[in-house]
Structures are given as structure tokens and as C-alpha cells.
Amino acid sequence: MGHRRQGPGSAGLTFLQLAPILCRAALRRPYGLPATPATFQLENNLVHVPSGQSQPDESRVYRLCQGVSGFNTKGYARMFCVDELSTDRPTAVELLEIMAATLSQTVVPATAPHAQHQARVVANLCRVLGRELAADKPTTVSIPPSLRDVDNATADDAYGHILELVRAKLAVNKPGYDAHGAAQERDIVA
């Protein structure tokens, strides 16, 4: 049987039963942790998840699942292995981190004043890209085709969803910016 499952989920389930659990676990894995082809092994339609490697990357798993017709077990296992083997460490996120640090700490001080601002901007963009690669996939929401002429109820209903969409963009582009919101702005005006 060989299905010792030591991470989140239940042992002894078929792959199709385990797949949603696997994906949920996948959502929580910090980007850049070691993951080997052995992370998930398929044996007799069951999945083995070694201890300590129970949180693979969300976006990667999603991409894999989207690429597998019918989400079959064999395809899932094969593609996951291929994906894990197709890049080396450092990961893209890890590279962007060191690129940003090098620009900020080494290049900017050694750069002529007129180019320093550009170098700082490039360093910041590296950080933005790193966060974007590591970010959770935004939740899909339904928004009317145009909001300019909708009634009040529709506008009020859409407001919260749109605020969350913008908040998700800020988490990538400018983390922490949403700490100052409507209530804080009202308070400083009062």
C-alpha cells in the first residue's frame, strides 16, 4: 500500500479523495522551500506525503492541475515531478531578493546621482516581482460589466469586493499601504 501520510489530510484515501486536501496543503507552503520529486509519490492510487514537506506551492500546483486533462492521478504526479525538476535553486523569488539587495546596497551608493533614483526603482520592482510570484492567486469575484451607471444596491455590493481586489494588488505593489483606510482618513479630517 505504501501510503504513509504524515502531513495534513488522511491516510488511506484514494488520490482523488486526497487531491483537494493536497491542494489545500499546497496553498500554505512558503515559496522557495525545498521540494523534491519524492514529495508526493503515487502508489496504487494513493499518495505519500513525507513529513515536513506537506505544503507545496499554491500557484505551481494550480498551474499543474490546470494543465492536466481530467486531473488524473498519473498526469498530476508526472507534471509535478517535471515542474520540480525544471528549475534550480535559487528560485525566482530568491534571485529577485538578492537582485534587490544588490541594487539597493551596492549599486545605488556607487551610482551617479541622476541614475540613483532609477536604480532604487529597479530594486523596488524586483521586490514587487518577488511578492507577485509568491502571492496567493486572488479569489475570483463577479463584477458587472460597468459600474458607472449601476444602482446604489449594486454599487454598494460591489464596493467590498473591489476593495479586496485593490487590497490584493497593494499586497504585491505596496505592502502595508492599506493600513490607512477610510476610517483613518475620516479621523484625521474630523
Partner 1 sequence: MSRINETTLGSYLSTALQSDVTVANLAPVTAGARRINVLFDATIDDAHRGLCITQLPNEGDAFRSIPDEVQWLNLAHTADMNVAEVVAWSDDASVLGGPFFITQQIHGVTIPKHVIELCSATPGLGSKVAFQLGESLAKLHVRSIDEVPADVERPPGTAVDAALAWIDEGISELLQRSPAFELVVRWLTNNQPPPAPITPIHGDTRNGNIIVNENGLGAILDWETAHIGEPFEDLAWLAQRMWRVRNDHLEIGGFADRSDLRSGYEAGGGTWSDERFHWWKVYRCVWWGLGLARQGRQHLDGTFRSVIMAASGRRVAELEWDALCLIDPGVRST
Q: Which of 95, 128, 133, 135 binds partner 1 (CB under 8 A)?
A: 128
| Residue 188 binding partner 1, by CB under 8 A | yes
Tell me the C-alpha distance between 121 and 114, whole Å: 12
Judged by DSSP in three states, 148 sits in: coil
| Residue 162 binding partner 1, by CB under 8 A | yes
| Residue 159 binding partner 1, by CB under 8 A | yes
| Residue 156 binding partner 1, by CB under 8 A | yes
Comparing CB distances to partner 1, the nearer of 68 and 125 is 125
Q: Which of 52, 137, 163, 175 binds partner 1 (CB under 8 A)?
A: 163
3-state DSSP of 1-69: CCCCECCCCCCCCCHHHHHHHHHHHHHCCCCCCCCCCCCCEEECCEEEECCCCCCCCHHHHHHHHHCCH
Tell me the C-alpha distance between 138 and 145, whole Å: 19
| Residue 178 binding partner 1, by CB under 8 A | yes
Tell me the C-alpha distance between 91 and 43, whole Å: 29
Q: Binding residues for partner 1, per CB under 8 A?
A: 117-118, 121-122, 124-125, 128, 143, 146-150, 155-156, 158-159, 162-163, 165-167, 169-170, 173-174, 177-178, 180-186, 188-190
